[in-house]
Structure 1
Amino acid sequence: MSYTGPDFDDPEPRRSRRGPLTVALAALVPGALLGWAVYAVAGGGSGDGERNGGAAGEASASVSSRAPSSATAPASPSGKPSGKPSRSAEPSASAASGSVSAPAASGPLTGKVVVIDPGHNPGNFRHTAEINRQVDIGTHRKECDTTGTSTNGGYIEAKFTLDVARRMRDLLEAQGATVKLTQDGDRPFGPCIDERARIGNEAKADAVVSLHADGSGAGNRGFHVILPGAVNAGAADTRAIVGPSRELGERIAGNFVRVTGSAPSNYVGGGTGLVTRKDLGGLNLSTVPKVFIECGNMRDSKDAAQLTSGAWRQKAARGISDGIVSFLRG
């Protein structure tokens, strides 16, 4: 969804480190009962330059929740690190390959590599010609990226995704993972969707998660996780990652409900919180387990109130991270 909204503060990069709803069980197949029971006890677009809340998808019917707790890193009152990025006319070589975390702490994820893909870029709306360039996603060609959506109050998706990504990085590094961001507010636009996929592939990531918030109609609420469908066309061949990506998505969905108290989408996914799609370049071109998550609908006032809350964003980061930890620990 195109966005050309108001001015906003430049995104702030990471400083050098040292760094309810209840879900009805009857609606789910037996394989999902355990995970959704945990949810009930607990309190209960735009993206890839492509996804749209109203797009059709094949609904999955299983969500599991086996979730060890991860350490929660404290957030600042503003929810953002301090410091200002340097801005260049073109992406630097290091930016093009993604932002890599500091050496990880020892922990259960030692030796694991996680790539976090903060959807869009706060600078995209200044570079419409560049992000409108067509790239090959295997099945067809699509725009390099999009500007993303925003709340009615002007809080843009790209700022939301970058903030959650940085929070997730802290949480996952505390578990011992090596974490790489596809962008960290360190480049003027992008990267393109094909490059985002390539960063995860070249990192030989054990898991990749692309972060988004939807831009659907008011009254459409809740989160959904987008899984790759089986695609074998041109440069795209997802057949080997469909299974593990589904497991990753199920773990994330279960933990997201548990930690945030948010319900699965009421407008896609049939109440499961899972949708399968074959039209997203970020998934089609991935050779490693990867999913997208739409954390809520920015155009709904109730969801927007959550998405704009630093405390809720910390919960979102925790829920997604716990899902990744659960997936990687098996």
Structure 2
Amino acid sequence: MVAVRRATVPLLLAGALLLSGCEEESPAAAPGTTRAATSTSSPTSSPPSTPSAVTPTSAPPTSTPTPAGKVVVLDPGHNGGNGAHPAEINRPVPAGRGQTKPCNTTGTSTDGGYPEHAFTFDVAQRVGEALAAKGIRVVYTRQNDTGVGPCVDRRAAIGNEADADAVVSIHADGSEAAGATGFHVAYSAPPLNAAQGAPSLRLAQTLRDTMRTNGFSAANYIGSNGLSPRSDLAGLNLSTRPAALVECGNMRNAAEAARMTSAAGRQQFAAAIAAAIEAYLAS
């Protein structure tokens, strides 16, 4: 049901296991916000980089003012150094529901070679800047796009430790099915705790609805009506906070790949996700 992703460094990861439907990884905060202190077994990585500013092609929809002081954890999928450290990212970690999964994966890429990890990091930074401007405290699960991990279980722990009001994982899919296009939003099902029930479903629905109103089409190859209930994603299974994972689109689709590789396109994704999070926090 879920597309198989290609490893971006096939020679190093010949024996690596790829997660079906992206999963996630040590935390950083948006510019001007406080980072949550965490530890990780991953190699030390360099300070965060900030993407160049881009003027949105259209203004995000107006939402109800969000009270300052809310906490949002943004989880950009994968990491740029994963491909060079197969032993680290392939070691098994808890994934919830009695499962284990590889620590992390390399993610997918466009046919032109633009990697998912770069896309997710750039979009997450843009979302974080928009939320921080509204007085929302933002915590990232990774500080840059050159490190390794963190592992999927650690990414979930970051949201739990931050006592996040919402946790949003940002990914892109790599389906090679003919004509596969569109975004979908995953949430934990059946829920394992109260936060994974109504709050997470409402977060997923708000992301789905806001993506649509911002001009994005729901996936035609996975899930139903833009939503995908999942029991196999560690970041969702291990969360004790409202959490959802948005696959922004299919990087193997030429039109969607073109949008993802452009700064203006990434700003459009970010504006929609930020508006959705604001709407959820205000509801």
How many residues get paired? 237
Give SS of 2:96's match: coil
- Superposed CA offset, 1:42-70 (max 9, x none): xxx64116xxxxxxxxxxxxxxxxxxxxx
Equivalent position of 2:36 in the other structure: none
Deviation at residue 185 of structure 1 after TM alignment: 1.1
Q: Which runs of 5+ in 2 are unaligned?
A: 11-19, 25-41, 50-64
- Superposed CA offset, 1:158-180 (max 9, x none): 00000000000110011110001
Bigger-Rg structure (1/2)? 1
Q: 2:273 aligns with which of 300, 310, 320?
A: 320
Give SS of 1:269's match: coil
Contact 2:174-2:250 within 8 A present in 1 as well: yes
| TM-score, structure 1 as length reference | 0.68
Deviation at residue 182 of structure 1 after TM alignment: 0.2
Deviation at residue 136 of structure 1 after TM alignment: 1.0
Q: 1:220 aligns with which of 161, 165, 180?
A: 180
- Superposed CA offset, 1:1-33 (max 9, x none): 342349xxxxxxxxxxxxxxxxxxxxxxxxxxx
Give SS of 1:137's match: strand
Q: RMSD of aligned C-alpha atoms? A: 2.3
Question: 1:124 & 1:201 partners in 2: Cα distance?
Answer: 24
Q: 1:133 aligned to 2:91? A: yes
Equivalent position of 1:245 in the other structure: 200
| TM-score, structure 2 as length reference | 0.78
Question: 2:258 & 2:67 partners in 1: Cα distance?
Answer: 33
Question: 1:176 & 1:188 partners in 2: Cα distance?
Answer: 28
Q: 1:255 aligned to 2:227? A: no
Name the aligned partner's letter for residue 266 of structure 1.
N
Name the aligned partner's letter for residue 227 of structure 1.
Y
Question: 2:23 & 2:265 partners in 1: Cα distance?
Answer: 23
Question: 2:128 & 2:195 partners in 1: Cα distance?
Answer: 27
Question: 1:200 & 1:186 partners in 2: Cα distance?
Answer: 19
Give SS of 1:117's match: strand
Deviation at residue 302 of structure 1 after TM alignment: 1.4
Question: 2:232 & 2:264 partners in 1: Cα distance?
Answer: 33
Q: 1:311 aligned to 2:271? A: no
Equivalent position of 2:7 in the other structure: 3
Give SS of 1:153's match: coil
Runs of 4 or more, structure 1, over 4 Å off, are: none
Q: Which runs of 5+ in 1 are unaligned?
A: 7-44, 50-88, 100-106, 232-236
- Superposed CA offset, 1:82-106 (max 9, x none): xxxxxxx8136x99xx99xxxxxxx
Identity %: 48
